[in-house]
Chains A and B, each alone.
Chain A
Amino acid sequence: MTTTVLPPYDDVVARYEPVIGLETHVELGTNTKMFCGCPTEFGAEPNTQVCPVCLGLPGALPVPNRAAIEATIRIGLALNCSIADWCRFARKNYFYPDMPKNFQTSQYDEPLCVDGYLDVEVDGEIVRVEIERVHLEEDTGKTLHVGGATGRIHGATESLVDYNRAGIPLVEIVTKPIPGTGAKAPLVARAYVTELRDIIRSLDVSDVRMEQGSMRCDVNTSLTPAGGTEWGTRTETKNVNSLRSVERAVRAEMIRQASVLDAGERIFQETRHFQEDTGDTRPGRSKEEATDYRYFPEPDLVPMAPDPAWVAELKAALPEPPRVHRKRLQEEWGLTDLDMQSVVNAGAVELIEATIAAGATAAGARKWWLGELARRANEEGLDLSAVGATPAQVAELQQLVDEGKLNDKLARAVLEGVVAGEGSPREIMTARGLEVVSDTGALTAAVDEAIAANPDVAAKIRDGKVAAAGALVGAVMKTTRGQADAKTVRELILSRLGAQG
């Protein structure tokens, strides 16, 4: 590829209008696979969660997983789709060693859910993303190429295949093309995937972990000259595996396509791969040499006709949509849009909710999760929920602060102990002797000591320069190793020196 100077983004969106589209795959969190009874746990020893059916051994036959069908219908309903009253699976035929049968059982022209939409919020503005279809299919296995430098098949001495993932139910959610988003296209893409993830999480049908591959995104992008009516040729950027990458991939592909179009060349319809390290996309397989999948109705499975009463029941039982839910919480917690946004970005909504339920105030709960704990999660690259503190513990910590047993600094030390797994906040406070010293006898001695050691400061205070008391408070805190209550110390100093606070 020739190196060209890429145009600035602002310049790109001034001259071109992007059209984006997203195809998202979500591995369902069912206990068993799509067409057999094998377990679906992540991270098991290779090829330990397999049977004749998911290995595609001769003679083995699929039987559909009702829980997966139910989950797909619920996703479809949450995305405002119509549920087909009759549909069936098809076979998508192509040869690849990680696909045991060399065909994927999927849905083709008769998907389970069609024609929905998802409203997403970008900069306070609602953008409606139309959903074309939601369908169910089975995942493939994973290939691992060893012996080469890159982990790619080129140069590898051996290729290994793990079929544990083969047959895990996979839901594919396809949007219609999204025009008219202009410069916000990358943000819309990100907001859509974020919202989708939240919805699926609220349905409790998948753990939607992009870093573990249980949610994977392909991003379609095309550019049209500003004012143009015909859409440009699109490219498909595969397996974009973080929210940030979704945004970056769209942006990078817009800039790349603009540079190609600027040079008077045309865009090829192709599959591209997003490079996490450089943030750009590189070409993969060209669509012009694309496989003919030879789709046809799967003869091993009878068609599905979801009972309308069942579908209605599932619809009635859907949880509140996350966006509505958040709006309600924001009001309850009295947060500004910006504050709420940072709570959402930190993935703290449910944690704060649970902490409040455990007895903390909204402000208190938010303070700990967004301050100390979010910082740690960030540093360690963890999800906030995996950082090591529970809502109950955070609520207890806040309660100790409210009772005056801990000050801010001590509370942070206790929280460290909680994260380190030393026990409940109260236990840690006691074990580490971190409780605020409020025994005035002991404090008076420390105060007197500080006054004696700093006669000039004491003189200033006596003269009415009350602000100077801070220096003495600091000295007392030092001798008490931070365990004194600063307010009490200050009052003591002032009263010992006969000054008015």
Chain B
Amino acid sequence: MSDLTKLTAAELAATIASGDVSAVEVAQAHLDRIAAVDERVHAFLHVDTEGALAAARDVDAKRAAGEELGPLAGVPIAVKDVLATKGVPTTAASKILEGWRPPYDATIVERLRAAGTVMLGKTNMDEFAMGSSTEYSAYGPTNNPWDLGRIPGGSGGGSAAAIAAYEAPLAIGTDTGGSIRQPGAVTGTVGAKPTYGGTSRYGLIAFSSSLDTPGPCARTVHDAALLHSVIAGHDPRDSTSIPQAVPDVVAAARLGATGDLTGVKIGLVTEFNGEGAEPGVMAAYRDSIEALTKLGAEVVEISCPHFQYALPAYYLIAPSEASSNLARFDGVRFGLRTGDDGRHSLEEVMSLTREAGFGPEVKRRIILGTYALSSGYYDAYYGQAQKVRTLITRDFTSAFEQVDVLVSPTTPFVAFPFGSRTGDPYQMYLADLFTIPTNLYGGPAISVPCGLSEGLPVGLQIMAPTMADDRMYRVAAALESTVGVLTPPAL
């Protein structure tokens, strides 16, 4: 058998189903790959060797017993460390949760287990998913497999890097302001943010409840669609989960892969005219627009005048919700506790715990959010940001009356070297400039590789109306059929 780690999820599932290889062999091949390269990549915070092999054995037993296997049975997967995994350490890359083993599985993790996927372990991320480079992980950054001296994007850099480094064919990410798409773009992989409420947040350690969206990371559009279809769907345990059928994203990806986009209307956001973006990124972007046109798509410019306020609105809403969501990390019931030596008051223990447990970016956002929600400032900040959010939603709604999807570069720049933006939070925040509007609106968006700039991957972002996730898969698969799947240099 050729190198199992180079196969796509779809190929692996087919091979396992046919009996050519066992799920255990596939799992072992990936565990071996992790053992060989992860010291350099640091995509994983925790590798669950025992759990993975046990899950793989289960799949093999089922196959041997003639039971029907799901479309991803036996396929290894890496899960962002922000999703609760029963009995398996879950830290959100924070010191405050070091060693915490949740007593329950996130709904998505339950669905992954039910589908027979094999969870290899938990991937690195920016602490509590706050960041755009994975440099804010309390356990050290992840390195981009394309250039180990560069960031893998954030906050889901671990998930994207694990895929790019062939440590796993699939991974789960979460996207609050671009944390699936942006790492996807800078690692040359596919990352999709489903419609908000289309995937369950139950068991996802909350950063910003009204924005957080779990979604798939993969090396191909088809794989992403397969994973999407396994994890999406209504969850009664999440009040914001949409009680509607999931669009058939797998069929849409297959349709797109035929390379025909006749009749598809694509909108280019006028306001994303290249300002603040690297020329190489814009060049790859224009090439991909041309490619889409050649596939038969009609391309028009659409103005979304309020997108320019998305970044500031996001940086009020997300930290506000985060300041409240993270209040539960106080050392009382779980995780780290500092100062409980009989010499400190209750308030001091809580305060010392939070001081010791949270990293600088998390503290920055808690302070920002606490301020924005405080009485006297609420209307000026949080309230105003919510109004901007409404206007951005209207921009999207009116755009989708004219076109099927909107496209833009996923990120304004390719993977940057470590440390080049940590000194200036605003420069870091710009990394999510193009991805944030979608989160405020709630619709789905995907990043798909569209070329290289200076030898580093560039992603194209495709945005669709809420619950029309299938549309973006179709366009993404069509682009992939001409651009091809990017292959990083050997590690």
Contact = CB atoms under 8 A, between A and B. Distances in A.
Contacts of B407: none
A302 interface: yes
A416 to B, nearest CB: 51
Nearest to A296: B373
A61 B333 contact: no
A102 B326 CA distance: 9
B27 interface: no
Interface stretch (A72-80, A91-99, A125-133, A465-473): A91-99
A58 B375 contact: no
Nearest to A89: B239
B439 to A, nearest CB: 13
A305 interface: no
A335 B287 CA distance: 94
Contacts of A159: 346
A301 interface: yes
B204 interface: yes
Interface string A81-97: 00000000001010101
Nearest to A298: B209
B370 A294 contact: yes
Nearest to B331: A97
Contact of A55 (B202, B238, B333): B333
B203 interface: yes
Contact of B83 (A59, A60, A63, A153): A59
A63 B237 contact: yes
B59 interface: no
Contacts of A95: 327, 330, 347, 350
A301 B240 contact: yes
Interface in B245-292: none
A58 B92 contact: yes
B328 A302 contact: no
B204 A56 contact: no
Contacts of B236: 63
B205 A59 contact: yes
Interface in A145-189: 153, 159, 161
A57 B334 contact: yes
A93 B332 CA distance: 16
A103 interface: yes
Given A61-B237, A62-B239, A302-B240, A56 B333 contact: yes
A64 B236 CA distance: 11
Contacts of B374: 292, 294
B106 interface: yes
A93 B373 contact: yes
A63 B237 CA distance: 6
A300 B237 CA distance: 11
Majority secondary structure, B binding face: loop
B325 to A, nearest CB: 8
A33 B379 CA distance: 33
B103 interface: yes
B239 A294 contact: no
Query: Which of A59, A61, A292 has most chain B Cβ within 10 Å?
Result: A59
A52 interface: yes
A292 B375 contact: yes
Contacts of B445: none
A59 B203 contact: yes
Given A59-B206, A64-B239, A100-B333, A296 B327 contact: no
A75 to B, nearest CB: 23
A58 B370 CA distance: 20
B201 A294 contact: no
Contacts of B83: 59
Contacts of B330: 95, 97, 102
Interface string B201-232: 11111101110000000000000000000000
Interface residues of A, number: 30
Nearest to A163: B333
Nearest to B203: A59
B393 interface: no
Contacts of A61: 201-202, 237-239
Interface string B321-354: 1011001111011100000000000110010000
A94 to B, nearest CB: 9
A101 B333 CA distance: 10
Contacts of B203: 59-60
Contacts of A296: 320-321, 324, 373, 378, 382
B84 A300 contact: no
Contacts, number: 99
Contacts of B155: none
Contact of A57 (B102, B204, B323, B378): B102
Contact of A58 (B205, B320, B346, B382): B205
Nearest to B103: A52
Nearest to A95: B350
A441 interface: no
B14 to A, nearest CB: 33
A97 B240 contact: no
B332 A97 contact: yes
A31 to B, nearest CB: 17
B309 interface: no
Contacts of A58: 84, 90, 92, 97, 100, 102, 205-206, 328-329, 334
Given A52-B103, A97-B332, A299-B321, A60 B202 contact: yes
Contacts of A301: 239-240
A212 to B, nearest CB: 25
Contacts of A302: 239-240
Contacts of A59: 83-84, 102, 106, 202-206
A63 B235 CA distance: 11
Nearest to A300: B209
Nearest to B373: A294
A64 B350 CA distance: 29
A95 B350 CA distance: 9
A74 to B, nearest CB: 22
Interface in A338-385: none
A261 to B, nearest CB: 30
A102 B351 CA distance: 13
Given A58-B102, A102-B327, A300 B239 contact: yes
Nearest to B371: A294
Contacts of B209: 299-300
Contacts of B321: 296, 299
A95 B329 CA distance: 10
Nearest to B202: A61
Contact of B332 (A62, A63, A161, A295): A161
A64 B237 CA distance: 10
Contacts of B347: 95
A204 to B, nearest CB: 27
Contacts of B238: 61, 63
Interface in A98-117: 100-103
Nearest to B109: A59
A294 B324 contact: yes
Contacts of A52: 102-104
Contact of A101 (B106, B201, B240, B327): B327
A300 B321 CA distance: 10
B239 A63 contact: yes
Contacts of B100: 58
Query: Which of B97, B202, B239, B323 has most chain A Cβ within 10 Å?
Result: B239
Interface in A33-70: 52, 55-64
A316 to B, nearest CB: 29
16 contacts: A52-B104, A58-B206, A58-B328, A59-B202, A59-B205, A61-B239, A63-B237, A63-B239, A97-B330, A102-B327, A159-B346, A294-B324, A294-B374, A296-B373, A299-B208, A301-B240
Interface of B: 83-84, 90, 92, 97, 100, 102-104, 106, 201-206, 208-210, 236-240, 320-321, 323-324, 327-330, 332-334, 346-347, 350, 370, 373-375, 378, 382
Given A161-B332, A301-B239, 5 more contacts: A58-B329, A59-B106, A93-B323, A97-B332, A296-B320
Return the 4 tightest CB-CB contacts between A and B, nearest first: A102-B327, A299-B209, A294-B373, A299-B210
